[in-house]
Structure 1
Amino acid sequence: MAKNAGGAAEESAVLKPWPKRPARLAHAVVESLTDTIVSGALPPGSTLPVEPELCETFGVSRITVREAVKSLEAKGLVRARQGSGTTVTQPEEWNLLDPVVLAATVQHDDTLVVLDQLVAIRSALEAQMAAQAVELATDEDLQDIERMLSRLDEETATPARFDETDVAFHDRIMQASRNRLGRSIIRTVHTQARTTLLYTGAPDTTGCRQANAEHRKVVERLLARDSEGAAQAMTEHIEAAWRRRRLPSAAPPAP
Structure 2
Amino acid sequence: MGQAPSTTSSRATRPDIAEQLAEAIFGGVYAPGDFVPKELDLCETYGVSRSTVRSALQSLVAAGMIKRISGQGSRVQELAQWHLLDPRVSDWMARFAQPNPRIRQEIFAFRVAVEPFVARLAAEHATAADLNEIETAYLGMIKALESSDQCHQDVSHDDYDVAFHEAIFSATHNLLWSQISHVLKPAIALLVETSNHSADELQDSMERHRQLMEAIRLRRPEEAEQAALRVLERTGLDLGIDSIFATPLSHLRLPGALPPAS
TM-score above 0.5: yes
Confirm or deny that 1:94 pairs with 2:92.
no
Deviations 1:176-230 (A, max 9, x none): 12222331243131234456xxx232x3432232122112211221122111110
Q: 2:182 maps to what in 1?
A: 184
Alignment of structure 1 residues 69-148 onto 2, 5 Å: 69-97=57-85, 98-99=89-90, 102-103=93-94, 106-109=97-100, 112-148=101-137
Change (3 A) 1:166 1:58: same
Secondary structure at the counterpart of residue 22 of structure 1: coil
**Residue 223 (1) aligns with residue 221 (2):** no
Query: For residue 22 of structure 1, what is the amino acid of its counterpart?
Result: R
Larger radius of gyration: 1
Q: Percent identity?
A: 27
SS at structure 2 position matched to 1:107: coil
Displacement of 1:101: 5.2
Contact 2:26 2:97 in 1 (8 A): no
Offset, 1:90: 2.8
Aligned mates of 1:149, 1:41 — CA distance in 2: 38
> In 1, Cα distance between the equivalents of 2:73 and 2:169?
45
> How far off is 1:18 after superposition?
1.5
Residue 65 to residue 217, structure 1, CA distance change in 2 (3 Å): same
| AA of the residue aligned to 1:29 | I
- 1:160 maps to 2:150: yes
**Alpha-carbon offset, residue 253 of structure 1:** 3.7
**Alignment: residue pair count:** 233
Output one character per residue of 1:48-94: Cα deviation in whole Å (capped at 9) or x when no partner. 33322110011111121010110111122222233333333333322
Query: How far did 1:233 drift?
Result: 0.3
**Per the alignment, in what secondary structure is the counterpart of residue 224 of structure 2?**
helix
RMSD: 2.8
1:94–1:101 contact (8 Å) kept in structure 2: no
Letter of the structure 2 residue corresponding to residue 246 of structure 1: L
User: What code does the residue aligned with 1:213 have?
Assistant: E
> Per the alignment, do residues 231 and 185 of structure 1 end up closer, same or farther by CA in structure 2, a change over 3 Å counting?
farther
Mark the runs of 5 or more structure 2 residues left unpaired by the alignment.
Answer: 152-156, 247-262
Kept in 2: contact 1:42–1:88 (CA 8 A): yes
Following the alignment from structure 2 to structure 1, what is the Cα–Cα distance between the partners of residues 133 and 91?
A: 33
TM-score of the two chains, using structure 1 as the length reference: 0.77
Query: Following TM superposition, by how much is the alpha carbon of 1:133 offset from its aligned partner in structure 2, in angstroms?
Result: 1.0
Q: TM-score when scaled to structure 2? A: 0.75
Letter in structure 1 aligned against 2:219: R
Give CA deviations for 1:147-203 in whole Å, capped at 9, x if unaligned.
Answer: 4444444443337233332222222222212222331243131234456xxx232x3
